[in-house]
Chain A
Amino acid sequence: MFAQAETVATPEVLWWALVPLLVLAGAAVLLLTVASLVRRLPEWLPAAWTIVAGLAVLVSVVPLWNEVQDDGARSFLAGAVGIDGSTLFVTALLAVAVVATALLSRAYLTREDLPGVELYVLLLLSAAGGVVMASANDLIVLFLGLELLSIAVYVMAALHLRRIQSQEAALKYFVLGAFASAFLLYGIALVYGATGATGLARIAGYLSTTILLEDGMLMAGFGLLLVGLGFKVAAVPFHAWAPDVYQGAPTPVVAWMAAGVKAAGFAALLRVFVLTFGSWSGEWQPAVWGLAILTVLGGSVVAVVQTDVKRMLAYSSIAHAGFLLVGVQAASDRGTAAVLTYLGVYTLLACGSFAVVTVVGGAGDDRHGIDAYRGLGARRPWLAGAFAVLLLGQAGVPFTAGFVAKFGVIAAATEGHSYALAGIAMVSAAVAAFVYLRILVALYMEDRHLEDDDEAGAVEVDPAPWGPRIVITVSVALVLVLGVVPGPLVDLAKDAVPVLVGG
């Protein structure tokens, strides 16, 4: 039995195309090893290490991008991994989010007196999961990437061990997330049953060349996959976890949830639905249409009545997921490019906004009521000004990048003749603008009220450490620059339209 030494043909590996993933996973494992061997690491080292890893990924994406643009998309490892423009675009976004989260985390962990390198290790591994999702060419790999991403985030949400809300958030996220994973897995099983393949390229090939007389199983698979992924991107009605989790989790982790997890989730939605099930778009578009309407409206309307800024931003991130779904619903190249543009802009907006929330939250991370923001414009003009720009960006005001993003998805919906959807999206954008306006009013117009009654809560905001300061400055600058000169980002997103290559 052991004598027969027949060689098994192992699949080809394009190592250069795996560099972003290897950098992230390698950095995480190395950091973990070093931290467990060296008794006292310098306090700045883990954050610096994570930032270097994120920047390294960002740099490594450039030659890959050129390679893919010149020679086309590739698939390797027996069709399990595919790399194309969208993979690299989303990888770059994840790298940006990792750098921003690491910058915020250092300041946060110091302030809250939380020792340990685990946050950075989990952040890097979570980002590795996101990269896997963005490059998955097989539903099993997609699922593993999603689990890697999510399980790390569940633990990150619980990281503030002295704050009971943080534990509560993690438990809620974990239980509901595990539930959603089950939906996703069942959907994968049903799609496999209906098409006989888990590879995206083979599924797409099967669906476009075969006429299915009975498609019940496939439809059920579509539905369950949509539920599973809809949960990850917090689409209504699968959004119930988001406000509680955003409110309870440590604020830098929330920045990662909003920016990183959402980007990876939409990368997966694009790959699975627009790309793989593209020939069946008539069947799933109505479902995504309904989901998009519920999400834009639900997110915007409920955000209006919130009094906690973190909750408000949670609902607004739900509304943003709705706009992204509007772009997915278009099921066209233009829609995909619009979604990617939106993701790029939202990554900046989310990182910047939650950086401000991290600073204002103060020691203990619980000053998130809108009262904490009252009169901030007078006391901390720069911080308030930056927050104002970021909020206007989220509202989609012209001359900020948010306008470009919203314009892109609505234009894609109009081009796809989804006029009702485009109309409803615009209405909810107006409703959502009211939310951001409320915070702006608190920032600038309610300081007189404060001087009268100083005890009402003149919350002292500590000066921002340099980490959040960098994140806020860079994101505000980019939001303004991309608002005036959106060309580069839009062109990149246009070149990043995903392609499916068989293995």
Chain B
Amino acid sequence: MDAAVFIVSAVIVLSGAFGVLLARNPVHAALFLVQSVFGVAVLFLLLDATFLAAVQVIVYAGAIVILFLFVIMLLGVDRAEDLDVEPIAGQRPLAVVIGAGILGTTLSALLVAVGGPTGAPATNAPLGDAGDNAQRLGEALFTDHVFAVELTALLLTVAVVGAVVLVRRLAGPLQPLPVAAAAPETQGEADTPDEGEGA
């Protein structure tokens, strides 16, 4: 049974991943990403990680990919992107090399490293029965990490205030750029030309 579920969800994950790469239409690519994410959620369920499975669906599929879709739709998809043009020269060969490198290191880390890189004992413990880990996580958040959880409230406050500040429009004209600063910068950091003259 487990093997069957694994194979089915693995097919869903992989076909979704290939779909992201191969789809011509960016909206389709984003929807394939949702498919892939759902498959991963099923894999998490298979590992009894119910909380992670829920988070995978709620955060990744529900929030992040939908945000992608918003961006794609706001920017418009009617114009076909010419895939033959590389915006940054040589980025595709580089991507292949880096991708192969990451695959290689991950595989070798999995297959070769037996004792682990630190010599420290493994720090994971059995999770208990399947329904348990959401509750455990909740307890951890409100005991050991309660201060961190409360701090995120302040962080969100800053985010809201910041968003309001940044989108506000003030009355009055924009200040003109100083003459020297409007010229294109030619060198690195030790450059700034004399700006006092403009004042």
Interface residues, chain A, with chain B CB atoms under 8 Å away: 8-11, 25, 28-29, 32, 77-81, 113-116, 118, 121-122, 125-126, 128-129, 132, 138, 140-141, 144-145, 147-148, 151-152, 154-155, 158-159, 161-165, 193-196, 206, 210, 212-218, 240, 243, 247, 302, 305-308, 311, 364, 366-372, 457, 459
Contact = CB atoms under 8 A, between A and B. Distances in A.
A164 B174 contact: yes
B172 interface: yes
A249 to B, nearest CB: 13
A369 B196 contact: yes
Interface stretch (B9-17, B31-39, B51-59, B138-146): B138-146
A163 B175 contact: yes
Nearest to B113: A214
Q: Which applies to chain B's interface (DSSP): helix, strand, loop or mixed? A: loop
B146 A132 contact: no
A203 B190 CA distance: 41
A152 B158 CA distance: 6
Contacts of B161: 32, 118, 121-122, 125, 155
Contacts of A138: 147-148
B118 A368 contact: no
A459 B195 CA distance: 13
A164 B147 contact: no
Contacts of B169: 161
Interface stretch (B22-30, B81-89, B119-127): B119-127
B2 interface: no
Nearest to A79: B144
18 contacts: A8-B143, A11-B143, A78-B144, A80-B147, A116-B165, A140-B148, A147-B155, A151-B155, A152-B162, A158-B166, A162-B172, A164-B177, A196-B123, A212-B118, A212-B120, A215-B119, A307-B196, A366-B175
Contacts of A210: 120
Contact of B194 (A80, A145, A371): A371
A218 B199 CA distance: 53
A302 B118 CA distance: 41
Contacts of B164: 118
A77 B141 CA distance: 12
A194 B116 CA distance: 10
A11 B157 contact: no
A367 B196 contact: yes
Contacts of B190: 302, 305-306
A161 B167 CA distance: 9
A371 B144 contact: no
A155 B162 contact: yes
Nearest to B191: A305
Given A196-B123, A212-B120, A369-B199, A162 B175 contact: yes
A116 B170 CA distance: 11
Interface of B: 115, 117-121, 123, 139, 142-148, 151-152, 154-155, 157-159, 161-162, 164-166, 168-170, 172-175, 177-178, 181, 189-190, 192-197, 199
B118 A218 contact: yes
A212 B177 contact: no
B196 A370 contact: yes
Given A122-B162, A212-B119, 19 more contacts: A8-B139, A8-B142, A9-B143, A11-B146, A29-B157, A79-B144, A80-B145, A81-B147, A114-B170, A116-B168, A122-B165, A125-B154, A125-B161, A158-B166, A193-B118, A214-B115, A302-B189, A369-B195, A459-B196
Contact of B168 (A32, A161, A163, A195): A161
Contacts of A243: 189
A67 to B, nearest CB: 20
